[in-house]
Amino acid sequence: MSAPAASSLSNAFMTRLVKKPFPGMALAVLGAMLVGGVFSRPLQPASVIVALALVALTVLIQRAMARHLADEVIDGGEYLLVRSDGIEEKVMLRDVAAVRRGFGNNPERLILTLRRPGRLGDTIAFIPKGIRWFPYVEHPLAYELRTRAQLLRLHT
């Protein structure tokens, strides 16, 4: 019996958008709003300081939310091939301890917690393929990965 063909589980296009242009676009919009607000009345140093602090806070939040996302996750049957920032790691599915979805993130993210940390750390987060219109129930891919990981742990 041959191994199943590898298929991508992650939405690489959406991941690139979240990591690259979205933070820049958010900063551009915030910057335009702040410039308009600061210079529409007599200039006060406190308002400039607050505006710069808001821009810095926005940069930190954007980076914190996007930096840990894997660029691509490929299903290889008994393993997942994970690519992130030039690092490629083969994660055995039996080493996945938990699969959960990132709550409050848009687009939705799946977070895999590993039994043993690898080169990418002890968690792997990615944006799964497809659009879900009712995100308040468990993601079908999360259920599938968790079930497969449990079966592999039982039989190996």
Span of 69-83, 120-134, 140-154 with lowest mean pLDDT:
120-134
pLDDT the model gives residue 1: 38
Quick check: helix, strand or coil at residue 122?
Answer: strand
The predicted-structure confidence for 28-62, as pLDDT tens digits, reads as follows 777 777 777 766 677 777 777 877 788 788 878 87
108 in Cβ contact with 139 (< 8 Å): yes
Q: Where are the domains of the chain?
A: 13-66, 69-155
The dotted CATH code for 69-155 is 2.30.29.30
| Average pLDDT over all residues of the chain | 81
Distances (CA, A) of 40 to 7, 15, 29, 111: 53, 37, 16, 44
Burial class (CB in 10 A: 0-12, 13-18, 19+), 32: exposed
For residues 94 and 117, give the distance between their C-alpha atoms in angstroms, rounded to a whole number.
13
* Band (82; pLDDT cuts 50, 70, 90): very high
